[in-house]
Amino acid sequence: MNKLSADYLVIGSGAVSMTFVDTMLDESDATFIIVDRHHLPGGHWNDAYPFVRLHQPSASYGVASRRLGSDRIDESGSNKGYMELASGAEVSAYFEQIMRERFLPSGRVQYFPMCDYKGDGKFTSLLSGKQFEVAIEKKTIDGTFFQTSVPSTHKRKYETGEKVVCITPNELPRRASEFRHFTVVGAGKTGMDALVWLLDNGADPDKMRWICPRDSWLINRETTQPSAEFFEQAIGGFAHQLEAFAAASSVDDAFARLEDTAQMLRIDKSVWPTMCHYATISHGEIEQLRRIKNVLRQGRVSRIDENEITFTSGETAAAKPGTLYIDCTATAVAFSRESRPIYEQDRITIQPVRSPLVTLSAAIIAYVEARFETDAQKNQMCTPVVLADTPAEYMVSFLGNMMNQNAWSQDDAVNKWVGTCRLNAFGKIVREADRSDPAKMKILARIKENAMPAAMNLQKLINEQAA
């Protein structure tokens, strides 16, 4: 058994673990050992499909100390006119650079890739079998709470017949040219990405089918642009959300109001969505997806045969022989997962404190860890916020974000740090807003006016939903 020691043992080198360590390097003199099964940092980005991109602008992702991307505006494609979305390859390269150029040269980080954490400070090399034991001076950092699942590492839950070709999106660019008919299985953003990729590359929408168990509310990407040029859409959009939640009489009424002000979008106007996973989309992508008319909504699939699709409900649908099926049923993260206290005696479990911005959440958790002495103080500052699965849970999440923001505002140092953190790009937009611009000041006044009514009504609606 090889003996090691560090202040913190970090399980996983995915985005949240990397962001936590990055902030701690600036805010403390602590040492770290990072253990991960992957051969490179970046977590699930190592396994992502080749055409994946961030949902939201690159400027809002990554670690706090270094920008991701160049804040470029895309000039073509379905994201035209909006800030760039890093590709999976760009994100992977970014995290590798952070490890190679920042973490390891600091002398305070030891990195053990291709290793399996066994618990109790012990891990084993996947290649040599060599065993290690860490004397942990402070805490274990659990960066695996999100249980991120991607198609290439996910085991699908339905059966396929012998003649059925069913692949992951990772294989799609290589296999697509062998087929003319395509069926995407899965209602989430991965399924949407696969459909848009096929359409962008010339597939015939009349020969495409989408198995979509639940329709989703989608965040309008225009409202997520962290740039002063989008003040009205981004900060004004937040004002619209507060007004909607302050006035709503029910969950459905709230989302109708969000749709009326273009905060939330849906693909099919004739179907009321029951899912809300924070998927963020452009109007261009929406228009592409609306070209697909053959959408099956009978529920989840239990089996696909050459001539028939069977659903878990017992219903069936005819299938066309020679179709390529693309399995997009992996759940990105553990939505609705029950939380635990972030700060415990021997452990920090990284969870959202500003949903769905997981890297900003990790940075805030690190700053609070470095600033405060007791776990009770830290947990008062950082209450876990649910990653929503449904529209009702989105409202719980929104209220949780507001409550945490209120807690941070009670401490001058925390409030200043959160407001100036690179990952909190909206903070910069508000901070640098031209106070002589009456339109901008009116938007900020709307936010101030509706914050408390929104919080109170959200609590009321949430209680009614739970009753």
Q: What is the mean pLDDT of residues 264-289?
A: 97
Confidence of residue 264 (pLDDT cuts 50, 70, 90): very high
The reply to whether 197 falls in a domain is yes
Taking only the tens place, the pLDDT of each residue in 94-131 is 999 999 999 999 999 999 999 999 999 999 999 999 99
Of 291, 323, 290, 283, the residue nearest 304 (C-alpha): 323
Percent of the chain surpassing pLDDT 90: 94
Whether residue 344 has pLDDT greater than 90: yes
CB 215 within 8 A of CB 302: no
Tokens of 345: 């005696």
Domain check: are 28 and 160 in the same one?
no
The reply to whether 391 falls in a domain is no
Return d(Cα 12, Cα 1) in angstroms, integer: 21
Assign 3-class secondary structure to the chain: CEEEEEEEEEECCCHHHHHHHHHHHHHCCCCEEEECCCCCCCHHHHHCCCCCECCCCHHHCCCCCCCCCCCCECCCCCCCCCECCCEHHHHHHHHHHHHHHHHHHHCCEEEECCEEEEECCEEEECCCCCEEEEEEEEEEEECCCCCCCCHHHCCCCCEECCCCEEECHHHHHHHHHHCCEEEEECCCHHHHHHHHHHHHCCCCHHHEEEECCCCECEEEHHHHCCCHHHHHHHHHHHHHHHHHHHHCCCHHHHHHHHHHCCCEECCCCCCCCCECCCCEECHHHHHHHCCCCCEECCCCEEEECCCEEEECCCCEEECCCCEEEEECCCCCCCCCCCCCCCECCCEEECCCCCCCCHHHHHHHHHHHHHHCCCHHHHHHHCCCCCCCCCHHHHHHHHHHHHHHHHHHHCCHHHHHHHHHCCCCHHHHHHHCCCCCCHHHHHHHHHHHHHHHHHHHHHHHHHHHHHC
Domain check: are 135 and 16 in the same one?
yes
What's the confidence (pLDDT) of residue 333?
Answer: 61
Assign 3-class secondary structure to 225-257: CCCHHHHHHHHHHHHHHHHHHHHCCCHHHHHHH
Count of domains forming the chain:
2
Whether residue 304 has pLDDT greater than 60: yes
Whether residue 147 has pLDDT greater than 80: no
Confidence of residue 465 (pLDDT cuts 50, 70, 90): confident
Whole-angstrom CA distances from 253 to 24, 103, 247, 395, 452 are: 42, 48, 9, 12, 19
Tokens of 47: 């396994």
Q: What is the mean pLDDT of residues 287-292?
A: 98
The reply to whether 194 falls in a domain is yes
The reply to whether 439 falls in a domain is no
What's the confidence (pLDDT) of residue 129?
Answer: 97
Question: Of 385, 407, 424, at which residue does a domain stop?
Answer: 385
Of 418, 394, 422, the residue nearest 407 (C-alpha): 418
What's the confidence (pLDDT) of residue 146?
Answer: 76
Domain check: are 39 and 75 in the same one?
yes
Domain check: are 122 and 175 in the same one?
no
The reply to whether 428 falls in a domain is no
What's the confidence (pLDDT) of residue 185?
Answer: 98
Which residue segment(s) compose the domain that 184 sits in? 151-217+279-327
Domain check: are 161 and 302 in the same one?
yes
Domain check: are 181 and 195 in the same one?
yes
Return d(Cα 156, Cα 170) in angstroms, integer: 14
Domain check: are 63 and 135 in the same one?
yes
Question: Of 327, 343, 366, at which residue does a domain stop?
Answer: 327
296 CB neighbour count, 10 Å cutoff: 17
Domain check: are 46 and 61 in the same one?
yes
**Burial of 264: CB neighbours in 10 Å, binned 0-12, 13-18, 19+:** buried
Domain check: are 144 and 158 in the same one?
no
The reply to whether 422 falls in a domain is no
Domain check: are 180 and 298 in the same one?
yes
Taking only the tens place, the pLDDT of each residue in 368-396 is 999 999 999 999 999 999 999 999 999 99
Q: What is the mean pLDDT of residues 449-459?
A: 98
Return d(Cα 367, Cα 188) in angstroms, integer: 33
What's the confidence (pLDDT) of residue 335?
Answer: 56
Whether the predicted model's global pTM rises above the 0.75 cut: yes
What's the confidence (pLDDT) of residue 153?
Answer: 75
What's the confidence (pLDDT) of residue 339?
Answer: 83
Confidence of residue 336 (pLDDT cuts 50, 70, 90): low
Whole-angstrom CA distances from 247 to 223, 266, 456 are: 20, 21, 11
For residue 322, give the CATH number of its domain. 3.50.50.60
The set of residues, in sequence order, having a beta carbon less than 8 Å from that of 301 and lying 6+ positions away, is 158, 185, 211, 309, 310, 311, 312, 329
The reply to whether 262 falls in a domain is no
Domain check: are 21 and 140 in the same one?
yes
The reply to whether 137 falls in a domain is yes
Tokens of 368: 């609070």
Domain check: are 58 and 71 in the same one?
yes
Return d(Cα 177, Cα 434) in angstroms, integer: 52
